[in-house]
Amino acid sequence: MIKPHGAESLTPLYVVEDESRANLIREAEQLPSMQLTSAAAANAVMLGGGYFTPLPGFMDRADALQVAESMHTVGGLFWPVPILNLTHSAAGIETGARLALRDPNVDRHPVMAIQSVDKVETLSDDDLEELVQQIFRTNDTKHPGVSAFLTQGNVLVSGALQVLSFSYFATEFADTFRTAYQIRDAIERRGWRKVVAFQTRNPMHRAHEELCRMAQAATGADGIVIHMLLGKLKPGDIPAPVRDAAIRKMVDMYFPANTVLITGYGFDMLYAGPREAVLHAVFRQNAGCTHLIVGRDHAGVGDYYGAFDAQTIFDDGVPAGALQIEIFRADHAAYSKKLGRVVMMRDAPDHTEDDFVILSGTKVREMLSAGNPLPEEFARPEVAQILMDHYRTQSA
């Protein structure tokens, strides 16, 4: 099986042994505490699950700025996005202390991790400007990732973690949420050697479905891991339970049995385009996948990134040998009226736009909200029905 990033084996920070975890939870009740931001809580979940192997915890200022500038830590580890615990005030938090980190997304804010505080540092305005400009390629606060980042605070609390909870992901998405080590175990049990991962924050339409088949055929993969984001998105995006139900229906009805592993991960969407695409590759390698589909405007938003910037960063930003996982480069896919099937648009140079069935996101939402069926060339009817039911409920 493919090795994890930067390590011989995964380094999940979740405390697996029940008695040890219970003892730490009791200890945490006597410790000073801070409530995490949603982004920091998501980072803790990813660190706990081994997705962020080999990081031992939250980065300090020097690593954050170095990663933002060069995609390497001060120690030389290749890493695309700073993994941070930001807050507005560190009053009562001392260097060298043990700190109980509380979950912002669960009632009564239970402890989800204990952090050994290495440093408490204040980021300057220049530091924040540098971070957002490098990570997001813009400092425009209309960008949802920039806006979310800048609302977290400017006090950085770094240090190693012992993770005690996977927050609401393990309970609300018990059939879908999986850690990196659980996905590795599932791949190994199936005897898959080549595995292609598909990242999604949306329900999967016919084009997404066919992209998975194309990538599997092109890479010779034994199986597909559909890996859906379960954390926070921008307002107006379809909630995770609806996406989950739609994807399961599609796989059950239109893929051969035992060829697809449906999983999800607990992380908030960054909308960081190219940098986020590289982060997606890192943690899919940690989950045991050998290939990742990177499509048009992968992890992008609005017009902040070029259509294929998330692919070209692997050519001009990722050093040779930094990652073992390989990229399957996908173009926009759509149903061809001429050919009677879904194709990547780059493979149909004789087509005009009118030869494809293409619907904008706005048009899809309008049709679903009105209770109108989507064209079968665009979406499987069973999937469209789940989405229509959701929009009908929203508008009721």
Which residues are annotated as catalytic? 201-202
Give me the helix-helix angle, 61-70 and 125-136, nearest 10°.
40
Task: List the structure tokens of 316.
Answer: 């001009």
CA 136/CA 57 separation, integer angstroms: 22
CA 312/CA 285 separation, integer angstroms: 19
CA 315/CA 186 separation, integer angstroms: 31
Beta strands in the chain, from DSSP E residues, in sequence order:
33-35, 57-58, 86-87, 98-102, 111-122, 155-163, 195-200, 223-229, 260-265, 291-294, 326-329, 333-336, 341-344, 356-357
- Rounding to the nearest 10 degrees, give the CA dihedral for residues 273, 127, 56, 178: -30
What would the DSSP string read from start to end of 242-296? Answer: HHHHHHHHHHHHHS-TTSEEEEEE-------THHHHHHHHHHHHHTT-SEEEE-T
How far from each other are the two terminal CA atoms of the chain, in whole angstroms?
A: 49
Q: CA nearest 100: which of 85, 89, 111?
A: 111
Task: List the structure tokens of 21.
Answer: 């975890």
CA 179/CA 213 separation, integer angstroms: 25
CA 154/CA 157 separation, integer angstroms: 10
Contacts of 96 (CB under 8 A, 6+ apart): 117
Task: List the structure tokens of 302.
Answer: 């609005």
Q: Residue 7 has what DSSP assignment?
A: S
Task: List the structure tokens of 206.
Answer: 């016919």
Phi, psi of 198 (to 5 degrees): -120, 120
The answer to whether residues 177 and 265 touch, using CB atoms and an 8 Å cutoff, is: yes
DSSP H/E element including 124: none
